[in-house]
Structure 1
Amino acid sequence: MLHRRHLIAAGIAITGLALSGAAPFNPAWAHHGWGSYDATKTLTLDGVVEKVDPDNPHGELMLKADGKVWQVILSPPARMANRGKAINEIKVGDRVIAVGYASKVHANEMRAERITHNGVTVELR
């Protein structure tokens, strides 16, 4: 049976982890909303994939385009596969065209609305 002092110690430990930014409390690990992207200006990136991250809740690409490396936020992997492009088909070195919106908060980050890879265009949202 837990005593009150154990509950207090656990609370202090959890608070310490949250404030330190340690996973899984780091806000970067949390799923973010789409309000932090500028939907008033469409951005098109045509580049080469440097990294593919297929993890949920959504996939991501690191795409070298326009002399920069962009973090391209994709839709959930299951949605991509259902719409005709499984994320595991995209490999490092492949050319991808991503159309979407730049982040208002993070430089070189964009939310993709659609991507084209190997001649297949997929609507992500």
Structure 2
Amino acid sequence: MPHVRFTYLLGFAVLAAFLAASAVHAHHGWAWATDEEFEITGVIQSVRLGNPHGEVTIDVDGEEWVVEVGQPWRNDRVGLSAEMLIQGREITVHGHRSAKEGERLIKAERVVINEEDYDLYPGRTS
């Protein structure tokens, strides 16, 4: 009987690990975004920085867009700080928009603030 219990526990552990890895991959990948390059300019309304990535909500002609910026280490590496992402500041975002029709969500590759570029993914061709 202990052998059967061990087999069930092992199977459960493998399934749990697979599901956890799938959830992480689905969230952090680029599969949800289009392949098409996209650029938009708006005014920062709110900011939430942290893990798994930061989010900046911008107003673009009366519509709210959510911009996914990098993880804290990625933002720090390129010099994109919370002090730059203040409410009321204009920001241009270059990246990829959501493939889901009508969803106003962008994965940022590069942002421009005060004519300064912050390239979040310097090795990624865009």
RMSD: 1.9
> What secondary structure does 2:28 align onto?
coil
Residue pair 1:77, 1:86 contacting (<8 A) in 2 also: no
Show CA shifts across 1:25-67 (max 9, x none).
xx8xx8432111001x211111100110102111110011143
Q: Is 2:108 aligned against 1:112? A: yes
Tell me the matched-pair count. 96
Q: Is 2:119 aligned against 1:123? A: yes
Q: Is 2:38 aligned against 1:43? A: yes
Question: CA–CA distance in 2 between the matches of 1:88 and 1:53?
Answer: 12
TM-score by length of 2: 0.68
Residue pair 1:59, 1:73 contacting (<8 A) in 2 also: yes
Alignment partner, residue 96 of structure 1: 91
Question: CA–CA distance in 2 between the matches of 1:87 and 1:79?
Answer: 13
Structure 2, unaligned runs of 5 or more: 1-22, 122-126
- Which stretch has the larger CA shift, 46-55 or 63-72? 63-72
Please state how far the C-alpha of 1:91 moved relative to its aligned partner.
0.5
Please state how far the C-alpha of 1:72 moved relative to its aligned partner.
0.4
Residue pair 1:54, 1:88 contacting (<8 A) in 2 also: no
